[in-house]
Structure 1
Amino acid sequence: MIRGVRGAITVDCNTEEAIISATEELLKHVIEGNNILPEQVASVFISTTEDLNAAFPAKALRKFAGWTYVPVMCMRELAVPNSLQMCVRVMMHVDTAVPQEEIVHVYLEGAKVLRPDLGNTLAK
């Protein structure tokens, strides 16, 4: 069964270092929180709000051993008025037998406001 694993984190500033560092932290929590192996992953979508354009956040995934061949795509989040800014979001498509309600979705920093309804959300 392919399941979507979501996550988001806010970034302090629009620099390559800040974007890659925050994305790496988010991905680490998503991967570890769900015990994900690269061979289980069909694809990863990473979006940023329009105010983050100093780097491709997908570069962060390449820092993880074994993730070289996992397909990753970066895109821009919709610019909805009054929406959370300076935010990186991740959607990982994972082959897993874990039930939907046991998937650990990860929301860190200012992004915790996006899905406060998820009881299994990791929070920093």
Structure 2
Amino acid sequence: MSVRGIRGAITVQANDRQQIWDASVKLMNAVVEVNGIEPEEICSVMITVTQDLDAAFPAKAIRELSGWDYVPLMCSVEIPVKGSLERCIRFLVHVNTDLKQSDMRHVYLGGAEALRPDLAAGR
């Protein structure tokens, strides 16, 4: 068994607590579903937000999901590169699996599809 990384990103329309929480749950549910994983298999999740999103912690929304009580979640602020995608939430999910890294399915939703169009199309 190895630890593999799964990337995900999603954008929101506004710096609004409910939008941030809803988008975080939507993205996490998509990552889990397309990869066929359970919270118990997840080592940890690193979450970043762009500096224009400070109305809520995305981890708080994920923590409310069933089975996520003991999964380590950490929020941070993305590097503020000029011209980068705004209002974006990014995930790096570390999962225990027997699959190869090339078998991991990354999820890019909404405006975040522009970050990795090669992966957003589902390969």
TM range (shorter): over 0.9
**Sequence identity (%):** 49
1:48 is matched with which residue?
49
1:3 is matched with which residue?
4
| Distance in 1 between residues matched to 2:45 and 2:60, nearest whole Å | 12
2:30 is matched with which residue?
29
Contact 1:49 1:88 in 2 (8 A): yes
Unaligned runs of 5+ in 2: none
User: How far did 1:68 drift?
Assistant: 0.5
1:82 is matched with which residue?
83
RMSD: 1.4
Q: Does 1:99 align with 2:100?
A: yes
Contact 1:105 1:120 in 2 (8 A): no
Unaligned runs of 5+ in 1: none
Equivalent pairs counted in the alignment come to 122
1:53-68 → structure 2 map (5 Å cutoff): 53-68=54-69
TM-score (norm 2): 0.94
| Distance in 1 between residues matched to 2:48 and 2:122, nearest whole Å | 19
Contact 2:113 2:120 in 1 (8 A): no
What stretches of structure 1 move > 4 A for 4+ residues in a row? Answer: none
The superposition leaves residues 33-92 of structure 1 with CA deviations (integer Å, 9 ceiling, x where unpaired) of 111111211110110000000000001212321110100000000000100000000001
Contact 2:12 2:88 in 1 (8 A): yes
| Distance in 2 between residues matched to 1:58 and 1:98, nearest whole Å | 26
Task: Pick which of 46-55 and 35-44 moved more.
Answer: 35-44
| Distance in 2 between residues matched to 1:60 and 1:36, nearest whole Å | 19
